[in-house]
Structure 1
Amino acid sequence: MPGRTTVAALVPAAGGGTRLGAGPKAFVPLAGRTLLEWSVDGLLESGCVDIVIVAAPADLIDRARSLLPETITVVSGGTERHDSVRNGLAAAGAADVIIVHDAARALTPPDLIRRVVTTAVDGARAVIPGLPVTDTIKTVDPAGVVTGTPPRAQLRAIQTPQAFAADLLAAAHASGAADATDDATLVERLGVAVHVVPGDPLAFKITTPIDLVLAQSLVERGLWKPASTPV
């Protein structure tokens, strides 16, 4: 990409939080601050993101704006995650690289964000972070009978942020997204190589009450602090 690369971060934050038992998920408190605030702080602390766009529930747009710095753009999210990403893309302007980051991965370290963005800026058109899988994974049929055991060495647990060339992400979403659980899946279907960089255990997704207890414990132990928290 010629000249300076502009990086925009899209944060889908319109999810209901059913499994967490409280919602909307992005507005659930963690140590006195919402998951949304924690995740946006990580993006800003990384120092490699030029634009941050949050897709919030339509009835919580004003609240989202009140929680976040004035430099953050807040748009209306959609019924599904891919709808929120599309709405965010429409507000991204002429950004060269788009990263999509789950608000529920609230404790994602800035170093991980920089690693993903740097790889994309250096020329990879699709970059995702992943961790080696430690559990044994089985595939099963509809009756619950095991059909195979894929080698763990070939498996990764994928996290966010995921980074893409802006034109590629737009094309991927234009191709249809109804059954995709992440943006990389859409890109894979276009036949584009997706590069995996090392993830980070702190970038886990806060999905259940147990995840929230773990996140609370990590914050209380001071393992990650947002830029606005005094050290």
Structure 2
Amino acid sequence: MSKFHVLIPAAGTGSRMGSELPKQYLPLLGKPLVHHALSLFAAASRISAVHVVISPDDDLWAQYSVDFGAKVFVHWLGGATRAATVLNGLEAIAGQVEPDDWILVHDAARPGLSHAMLERLLDALQDDAVGGLLAIPLADTLKRADAAQRVASTEPRDGLWQAQTPQMFRYQLLKQALQQSGGAPTDEAQAVEALGFSPKLVPGELRNLKITYPQDLQLAQAILLADAREQKIP
């Protein structure tokens, strides 16, 4: 039976946050962002291993990380782009996975993934021929801006979804897709699409937001605090 492995690219700098601290280490409820992703996967019984790929010159991991046990592995192999970091990670674990094992690539800066969403993704894709990703249908009207930041046009949103993570594909397919991607695909699904495949969209949730701007941290904190309060209710 194919196993489930998680790969978390965490080699970026998070320049849009306007912080000197790399985004994956920004504090959220007293712990770095990457901690929240790791804790969920480390506790998930269906996940066989979790691989974190960080920058070769990362000197913060030892300071901010928490020991999650033998399931979590760290690789100092981050590349110049997300795609390069993920591919480096895939190559590093080649001897630990089978070609048909599933790889779940998840953003280090998505602390709101829930166990229910993870289970939904695994159940929906474990027998799928291609794989897929969590995503949510776009609800807001889309405006295309011109060079002066004025509205150039209104874009139809019918059939449009906002991609989230995890993005889940077989090891061999994902590795081939990234090797042949040429440029720098913005996510793993785009690389797989370039091979002619159609990844499946699995409904995610708004809470699974990616921390990109400072105000996103406040929203994520509110979500996690609400979770904590619910867990205390008998």
Contact 1:42–1:107, Cα closer than 8 Å, also in 2: no
Percent same amino acid among aligned pairs? 33
User: CA separation in 1, counterparts of 2:46 and 2:147?
Assistant: 44
**Letter of the aligned partner of 1:25 in structure 2?**
K
Q: CA RMSD in A?
A: 2.5
**Equivalences for residues 116-195 of structure 1 within 5 A:** 116-139=121-144, 146-147=152-153, 149-150=155-156, 152-195=157-200
- TM value normalised by structure 1: 0.87
Q: 1:9 to 1:220 in 2, by over 3 A?
A: same
More strand by share: 2
How many residues matched?
Answer: 224
User: CA separation in 2, counterparts of 1:64 and 1:177?
Assistant: 35
User: CA separation in 2, counterparts of 1:78 and 1:185?
Assistant: 18
User: 1:88 Cα deviation (Å)?
Assistant: 1.2
1:74 aligns with 74
Unpaired stretches in structure 1, ≥5 consecutive residues = none
User: 1:211 Cα deviation (Å)?
Assistant: 0.1
User: CA separation in 2, counterparts of 1:186 and 1:48?
Assistant: 26
User: CA separation in 1, counterparts of 2:84 and 2:43?
Assistant: 27
User: CA separation in 2, counterparts of 1:45 and 1:131?
Assistant: 25
1:1-36 deviation digits (Å, cap 9, x = unpaired)? xxx211111000111011122221111110011111
1:27 aligns with 25
User: CA separation in 2, counterparts of 1:8 and 1:64?
Assistant: 25
User: 1:223 Cα deviation (Å)?
Assistant: 5.3
**Letter of the aligned partner of 2:155 in structure 1?**
T
**Letter of the aligned partner of 2:91 in structure 1?**
A
**Letter of the aligned partner of 1:196 in structure 2?**
L
**Letter of the aligned partner of 1:5 in structure 2?**
S
**Equivalences for residues 46-65 of structure 1 within 5 A:** 46-60=44-58, 62-63=61-62
Is residue 203 of structure 2 the alignment partner of residue 198 of structure 1?
yes
Moved more, 210-219 or 99-108: 210-219
Q: 1:109 to 1:177 in 2, by over 3 A?
A: farther
Match of 1:8 among 5, 8, 32: 5
